[in-house]
Amino acid sequence: MKCIALIGYMCVGKTTIGKALAKQLGLRFYDLDWYIEHRFRRKIPEIFAEDGEEKFRKMEQNMLHEVAAFEDIVLSCGGGTPTFADNMEYLNETSQTFYMKATPETILAHLAMARGNRPILAGKNAEELDAFVRKQLAEREHFYAQAQHVIDVDILDSYEKIDDVVQMIIDSADASH
């Protein structure tokens, strides 16, 4: 089976869904950010701070080309991954791609719970955060929309809903074989 790649904005549930999907299908789960951190023995915020975004994005592209070539895996990509270099095109060639789509309101609600883990959001008040998310989401939508499948994840508020989304992905993946 080709790699199943989950893309979408931060805090839409790519890792949560990815782990559940991998478990359900008996596949290995990879989070691209975790893979990069493991390979380079540095945290993403550290790489950004010390090397800058451009160097990070090149590292990310190289690691994506390495990991997405694996078969029988579920891959959760960073929110910006599809928007740089040939990443989205490459993902569509090597993987079944699923855009985990959520409204800005859902993303903002999820970010409010996970804000401490996102250096890019540090120091932003609620109004600034809202504007930032909406602007970035609008800029990235063109790339996300190139995924082969779109899954609405605004409903992820219980374990049953996570199971429903996992089943939607499995059904979509089966239908495209």
Tell me the per-residue pLDDT of 36-61, one tens digit each, with 9 for 90 and over.
999 999 998 899 889 988 999 999 99
Rounded distance between C-alpha atoms, residue 27 and residue 127, angstroms: 40
Give a yes or no: residue 170 inside a domain. Answer: no
User: How far apart are the C-alpha atoms of 26 and 32, rounded to whole Å?
Assistant: 19
pTM (predicted TM-score): 0.91
* CATH code: domain of residue 71: 3.40.50.300
| Number of domains forming the structure of the chain | 1
- The answer as to whether 176 is a domain residue is no
Residue-wise pLDDT tens digits, 1-16: 789 999 999 989 999 9
* Mean pLDDT in residue range 131-157: 92
**Nearest by Cα to 31 from 94, 83, 73, 77:** 77
Per the structure, the complete domain to which residue 96 belongs is given by 3-165
Confidence grade of residue 175 (pLDDT, cut at 50, 70, 90): low
pLDDT above 60 (res 147): yes
177 belongs to a structural domain:
no
